Structure 1
Amino acid sequence: MTEIYPGESLNISYLSPYLKVLGSNYSNGVNFAIGGSKTLPRDVLFALHVQVQEFLFFKDRSLELINQGQETPIDAEGFQNALYTIDIGQNDINALLSNLPYDQVVAKFPPILAEIKYAVQILYDNGSRNFWIHGTGALGCLPQKLSIPRKNYSYLDQNGCLKTYNRAAVAFNAALGSLCDQLNVELKNATVVYTDLFAIKYDLVASHTKYGELIKVW
């Protein structure tokens, strides 16, 4: 869903999934995202590094076809000038919070961030220059989490969201934002933009009257 709304606001078509065999149109870009994917472990189907490898194959194949005289929706210049959006980490954090206390969850953020940095570096080494990195959303406000029966509600904040989950999301985003600042310094002629999706999505709950009626289910 994260990729849909910017596209709608720009009045462009949705990105075609890379694995969609029929009816794909890559003229506006390609979607390599897979629902439920994580950064780690790497041997999980369609982890982040697998998505990066799939992109590299797609790029190499596209340029190969151009060299053979065929037309493709994206040429070498298009790949270099494209905007590369990375939105991952939420599923990693969700899985950790299901089994570990907060402090141990935060201690496992560095390997996740390292995978994101590695993905950006690989893309950069292959000519990518424009990156848009998304922070994770308000995990503690997800209906999936709030629908789980609980004995009391002391761990909910004033807006009915799980404190620990949101606290972890904020901590992860702070580290991710710092990583993006670091990448902007290290990657010459690259632009890395970080967006805090937690603030945006939490505002939908905290200021729900601005957007419509909130129906409480707890």
Structure 2
Amino acid sequence: MGLYFPLPSGRAFFRRAAGRLCDGRLVIDHLCESLNMSYLSPYLEALGTDFTNGANFAISGAGTAPRNTAFSLHIQVQQFLHFKQRSLELASRGEAVPVDAVGFRNALYLIDIGQNDLSAAFSGGLPYGDVIRQRLPAILSEIKDAIQSLYYNGAKNFWIHGTGPLGCLPQKLAVPRADDGDLDSSGCLKTLNAGSVEFNGQLSSICDQLSSQLRGATVVFTDVLAIKYELIANHSSYGKS
């Protein structure tokens, strides 16, 4: 299931509860702004939606597994396929639709998922090696399957985000520990960040593999961990105290 998160819910920027898992905008919001687009409407929001520039199928707290639970990555892909089928159905009848066949073909498909799965695996008490050997392959397999499913249904342009530095999350740092031996020079947990690095390395390799295998597709991987860790490690350089 998706998770309900209380305030601030984006209030600092939107001045109202905006369904954001932060006090302002998300990466997708900044992306839309940089392209002079309106913010994407959630697919499951019944009122006031505008899918002219695309749709957001993400759900807070979602993961890749189990794949048949509500709002898993697999279910989100199925929701997208239903959205596309219905849109093209209406277009074939001459009705106005926010996204037509050309729009779906030329769209950018952004996937950012896996951190919740990785976080849950480590929180479950599994040793580091077991998380890497047992859990990581299943998470990555679901992401790979999602990309392939979208591709075989017409998607060509993919932007895949790696996970952030799990060991820098306040949630993880707040867990009681015997000592600070696992903390790095930036105050982050080295073991959890090592897991994040391993996840991103394998996901990057999958993206390279799919780029060469899926004819006509562009699959771009972004190392979110490197970007976020740079902000944390050198925060003063970016005007943050």
TM bin, normalised by shorter chain, reads over 0.9
Q: Do 2:73 and 2:146's aligned partners in 1 also have CA atoms closer than 8 Å?
A: yes
- Count of residues paired in the alignment: 214
Please tell me the root mean square deviation across aligned C-alpha atoms, in Å.
1.0
Q: Which residue of 2 aligns with 1:159?
A: 186
* Structure 1 gap segments, 5+ residues each: none
Query: Is 1:122 aligned with 2:165?
Result: no
Amino acid at match of 2:131: V
- Report the 3-state secondary structure (helix = DSSP H, G, I; strand = E; otherwise coil) of the residue aligned with 2:30: helix
Amino acid at match of 1:2: V
Q: Name the CA distance, whole Å, in 1 between partners of 2:143 and 2:178.
A: 37
Q: Name the CA distance, whole Å, in 1 between partners of 2:37 and 2:188.
A: 34
- Report the 3-state secondary structure (helix = DSSP H, G, I; strand = E; otherwise coil) of the residue aligned with 1:133: strand
**1:5, distance to aligned residue in structure 2 (A):** 2.1
Question: Higher relative contact order at CA 8 Å, sep ≥6: structure 1 or structure 2?
Answer: 1
1:71 to 79, 96, 101: 96
Query: Is 1:209 aligned with 2:240?
Result: no
Q: Which residue of 1 aligns with 2:225?
A: 198
Between 1:177-186 and 1:138-147, the stretch displaced more is 138-147
**1:127, distance to aligned residue in structure 2 (A):** 0.5
TM-score (norm 1): 0.95
Q: Which residue of 2 aligns with 1:105?
A: 131
Amino acid at match of 1:136: T
Q: Which residue of 1 aligns with 2:37?
A: 12
Q: Do 2:211 and 2:218's aligned partners in 1 also have CA atoms closer than 8 Å?
A: yes
Q: Do 2:109 and 2:158's aligned partners in 1 also have CA atoms closer than 8 Å?
A: yes
> How does 1:14-53 map onto structure 2 within 5 Å?
14-53=39-78
TM-score (norm 2): 0.86
- Report the 3-state secondary structure (helix = DSSP H, G, I; strand = E; otherwise coil) of the residue aligned with 1:116: helix
Offset from partner CA, 1:133-187 (integer Å, 9 cap, x none): 0000011111111222333211111000111111100000000000000000110
Q: Which residue of 1 aligns with 2:170?
A: 143
Between 1:170-179 and 1:5-14, the stretch displaced more is 5-14
**1:3, distance to aligned residue in structure 2 (A):** 1.4
Q: Which residue of 2 aligns with 1:173?
A: 200
Q: Name the CA distance, whole Å, in 2 between partners of 1:52 and 1:93.
A: 20
Amino acid at match of 1:103: G
* Structure 2 gap segments, 5+ residues each: 1-25
Between 1:46-55 and 1:1-10, the stretch displaced more is 1-10
Offset from partner CA, 1:179-209 (integer Å, 9 cap, x none): 0000001100000000000000011100101
